[in-house]
């Protein structure tokens, strides 16, 4: 999570940068089968921060597949009591998938 871009096959890119103002990450690119490994590693590192609120800015993400949202949901389900992930401006499919498959998952908050 050092701000470097990972370029998987077929041109898909996922870049992860620390957020300057709060505990979390800014994500750029797409979260798909081609970027799955770096996304999973990123989520694992995110929860190791041991802070109550983990911010993930998805405003510059062009696409998230169902498996990418699943990774978020599973990560949120494993958080200790009182810890949560706040998603900032995710692509429209993310809140829809969360509501469809994980309604009421309190450990994820979607901020507009």
Predicted confidence band of residue 6 (pLDDT cuts 50, 70, 90): very low
**Shortest CA distance to 106 belongs to which of 83, 91, 94?**
83
Q: What is the pLDDT of residues 70-99, one digit of tens each?
A: 999 999 999 999 999 999 999 999 999 999
- Rounded to whole angstroms, the Cα distance separating 87 from 72 reads 10
- Once rounded to an integer, what is the mean pLDDT over residues 1-13? 54
- Rounded to whole angstroms, the Cα distance separating 108 from 85 reads 5
Domains defined along the chain, listed by start: 5-111 (3.30.750.24)
The pLDDT value recorded for residue 10 is: 57
Judging by DSSP bridges, how do beta strands 14-18 and 5-6 pair with one another?
antiparallel
The pLDDT value recorded for residue 104 is: 92
Phi, psi of 78 (to 5 degrees): -90, 0
């Amino acid at each position: 999570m050092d701000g470097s871009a990972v370029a998987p096959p077929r041109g898909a890119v996922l870049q992860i940068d620390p957020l300057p103002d709060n505990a979390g990450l800014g994500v750029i690119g797409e979260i798909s089968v081609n970027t799955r490994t770096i996304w999973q590693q990123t989520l694992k590192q995110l929860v190791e921060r041991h802070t109550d609120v983990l911010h993930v800015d998805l405003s510059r993400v062009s696409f998230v597949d169902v498996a990418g949202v699943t990774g978020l949901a599973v990560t949120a389900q494993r958080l200790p009591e009182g810890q949560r992930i706040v998603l900032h401006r995710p692509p429209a499919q993310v809140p829809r998938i969360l509501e469809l498959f994980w309604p009421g998952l309190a450990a994820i908050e979607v901020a507009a």
